[in-house]
Chains A and B, each alone.
Chain A
């Protein structure tokens, strides 16, 4: 495991600016993050469990996606357009996946999960369209699971368990009334035992900080 972390560190040292999936550069990090292994990521809380739907529509337990590997999990909704919200997370996930996939010995120890909090619109078919090639390309051995839930009732224990605050309102602007969702971006880093070890807001959600934290968890192990 330490070799894998060392390989990731080497990759980080040689990596240029991280790129999102659309090629747009991610915002620069305005500080030098602490080196992996020089700090402790404490167990913040156990990751909650509940029933989710994969792209095939089959009910599964979320814990199947938050154990055994280090998991980066973020709540999303496919109609989100805020550049500092889901699209930012998507690009960071892409960059992290690429970096981990380039690191022998690590790619089989990390996974990504995007979980919709809009079960009404984000059906498994909608999630498949959102995922695009990422649902099937293997990601260099780093799986990226796109999950949704069957109902608001099924979703509720998950968003409450993670502490993901979500708001919904009706936009009565021109045209038909439209339901609007919004949330403050949070992304969760979960260790192999299923404990949340870091919660990122947009400020710290950057490939460098996430990769450093993954390397820290690997070294911690």
Chain B
């Protein structure tokens, strides 16, 4: 994605109604792990963290909601909740993604085929629910929208399940930015494919899209304690990734990656053409790289002690591709891997950051790290271990230092899951 030349010394003047942003650069990628088609990159200090939170019965209104938190250290309301937008129902809120113009956030839940569209451009401090897309199941047969990946003028939505048997065989639904269904693409079930889906990430310069695989509704909506005792159910987790021809949207090669490979992160360093993922059940890092003219997957590192099932759930790559944060849910640990040799990642730091931790996001400069707590409503821990939070940290390359915390239970907000960063400068009408 190219963009036109940055404005030099700037005072913003909104000369046209459909205008602009200031203090926001334009680059080839978002804050380290979004679609490369997203135009506006927050290179400086972000003002907000948007948290997509699962509703909890008896907590607040019990509904899923988008929560806006002030994260600008110089603000009087630093570390405070600025507001929240309830969607009025509980549907296992999970992930979200920006449209390519970063004017809207699409967010959805895993227990329903609904997608919520929030306007974050009119007033970045006060997102507004402007549309609910409810036709995904009817149009595609897929259930549990998970990843929202911006393509030019479109949103590619990776689902986790299907409406027929609620298993893991699923696909992707393509919408235009107005929210109109365009088409769907099934995950491959031949050539070694298991048909499962989870995340997707593209490398346009190589015309490749990678997808990963998790499990279906029947498993992810089940209490974790029951699930792990069910040997048959535990067989129904993804063990593949797929390299697609992005232009043709056709699978080219199925890669064997056992143990439910989850988030996919391409290195953003110019010239790099590799991606990395973490397999949740085997606690391994896998490198996906082109070799001998084909995309290959290679196990390159172990995360913690796999025998203890630390369950790596989210990863965040640095902007230069030399470092990787890994959150492991069960032991509440945040680890940092040196990726300067991607074929041999080396853990250099770890810290317990919560009794349970899930998502991890970092600012473009890597100096600020944000962590949330919830994995899935039925997989989160119980009792006092069920902490629900957004925690902000400062990272100086040596130590994660706590900066602020928002207690989502105390604030009556629910379970804190996915995060996206926001900026006042992204305001446009």
> Which A residues fall within an 8 A CB radius of B?
30-31, 33-34, 38-40, 42-45, 80-82, 84-86, 88, 152, 156, 159-160, 162-163, 165-173, 179-186, 196, 199-204, 209
Contact = CB atoms under 8 A, between A and B. Distances in A.
Contacts of B152: 186, 199-201
18 contacts: A33-B247, A39-B247, A39-B249, A45-B180, A82-B3, A82-B4, A82-B5, A165-B103, A167-B19, A168-B14, A169-B11, A169-B13, A171-B9, A186-B153, A199-B154, A201-B152, A202-B1, A204-B247
Given A167-B20, A184-B39, A172 B153 contact: no
Choose among B39, B152, B182 the residue with the greatest number of A CB atoms under 10 Å from its CB: B152
A115 B29 CA distance: 27
A30 B271 CA distance: 11
B231 interface: no
Nearest to B177: A163
B283 to A, nearest CB: 34
B176 A45 contact: yes
Interface in B147-181: 151-154, 174, 176-178, 180
A37 to B, nearest CB: 11
Given A159-B18, A203-B205, A169 B7 contact: yes
A180 B183 CA distance: 38
B19 A43 contact: no
A180 B10 CA distance: 10
B75 interface: no
A179 B2 CA distance: 21
Given A81-B5, A152-B17, A172-B9, 7 more contacts: A39-B250, A42-B183, A45-B178, A156-B18, A165-B101, A170-B10, A184-B39
- Complex A-B, nearest 9 residue pairs according to Cβ-Cβ distance, in ascending order: A84-B2, A167-B20, A39-B248, A202-B2, A203-B204, A182-B4, A165-B101, A31-B207, A34-B248
A30 B205 contact: yes
Given A45-B178, A81-B5, A202-B1, A165 B11 contact: no
A183 B5 CA distance: 9
A172 B11 contact: yes
B153 A168 contact: no
B207 A33 contact: yes
A42 B182 contact: yes
A217 B36 CA distance: 27
B12 A160 contact: no
A183 B7 CA distance: 11
B21 A209 contact: no
Contacts of A201: 1-2, 37, 152, 204
Interface of B: 1-22, 26, 36-37, 39, 100-101, 103, 151-154, 174, 176-178, 180, 182-183, 204-208, 245, 247-250, 428
A44 B248 CA distance: 15
A30 B4 contact: no
B10 A182 contact: no
Nearest to A45: B176
Contact of B3 (A39, A44, A85, A160): A85
B11 to A, nearest CB: 5
A186 B16 CA distance: 19
Nearest to B153: A199
A199 B37 CA distance: 12
Contacts of A162: 153
Contacts of A185: 2-4
A42 B173 CA distance: 12
B204 A180 contact: no
Nearest to A180: B7
B202 to A, nearest CB: 9
A34 B207 CA distance: 10
Contact of A173 (B8, B17, B183): B8
Contacts of A203: 1-2, 36, 204-205
Contacts of A152: 16-17
A165 B98 CA distance: 14
A178 to B, nearest CB: 10
Contacts of B177: 163
A182 B26 contact: yes
Contacts of B26: 182, 184
A170 B11 contact: yes
Contacts of B151: 199
Contacts of A166: 16, 18-20
Given A81-B5, A85-B2, A170 B182 contact: no
A202 B100 CA distance: 14
Contacts of A170: 10-13, 15
Contacts of B36: 203
A218 to B, nearest CB: 17
Contacts of B15: 168, 170, 179
B423 to A, nearest CB: 14
Nearest to A167: B20
A185 B13 CA distance: 22
A214 B354 CA distance: 54
A156 B15 CA distance: 13
A85 B250 CA distance: 29
A80 B4 contact: yes
Contacts of B12: 169-170
Contacts of B103: 165
A114 B1 CA distance: 20
Contacts of A200: 152
Contact of B8 (A33, A88, A171): A171
Nearest to B39: A184
Nearest to B154: A44
B36 to A, nearest CB: 8
A209 B14 CA distance: 36
A203 to B, nearest CB: 4
Nearest to A170: B13
B39 A165 contact: yes
Contacts of B11: 169-170, 172
Nearest to A153: B17
